Amino acid sequence: MSSRYRAFRIVRARTCDLGDALPLFGAYRRFYHRSTDPAAARRYLSARLARGEAILLVAYEGREPMGFTVLYTTFSSLAMRPLWILNDLYVRPPGRRRHIATRLLDRAAAEARAAGAVGMILDTARTNRRAQRLYAACGWTRDEKFLHYELTL
């Protein structure tokens, strides 16, 4: 089998696994033109994981971390069940177009389903056509009923 198509594994990271995820998290923040502060990122992710406020999934090729996703739980009052937010998804450039993002999305959905979530939501830039195609190919549908607003504090 060509090294381009080696098997990947997805790991539900714990606080002790953050050393592998932090460079990916920094690259993700740089992609969105945000500063990187590894110590602050470690504190942030450690707190989320320790409090059970987030799930961090990391994709590995061998021992090499290739991508990650961060999931947060919220709740649906109408469904009276958890609703998961896929907040962050990032794959290193050498791992793109190799189905790593698809595997991360599939694993995220499996985790949400196992936890009894009613569904999952995510936001992406209107200009990010590649991500939109990926989400559609993975069964996600664009919300045509509701507008989403935000308030910066």
Domain assignment present for 151:
no
Residue 21: which CATH number? 3.40.630.30
Domain assignment present for 78:
yes
Percent of the chain past pLDDT 90, that is, above it, reads 81
CA 114, 120, 122 angle in degrees (round to 5)? 145
**What per-residue confidence (pLDDT) applies to 6?**
62
Domain enclosing residue 88, as ranges: 7-137
Domain assignment present for 153:
no
Cβ proximity of 119 and 140 under 8 Å? no
Domain assignment present for 150:
no
80-106: pLDDT as tens digits: 999 999 999 999 998 898 999 999 999
Domain assignment present for 145:
no
Rounded Cα distance between 104 and 11, Å, is: 10
Rounded Cα distance between 21 and 26, Å, is: 9
Number of domains within the chain: 1
131-153: pLDDT as tens digits: 999 999 999 999 999 888 889 99
Domain assignment present for 39:
yes
27-49: pLDDT as tens digits: 999 999 999 899 999 999 999 99
Facing residues of 121 across strands? 85
Rounded Cα distance between 90 and 14, Å, is: 18
- pTM of the predicted model as reported, rounded to 2 decimal places: 0.91
Domain assignment present for 112:
yes
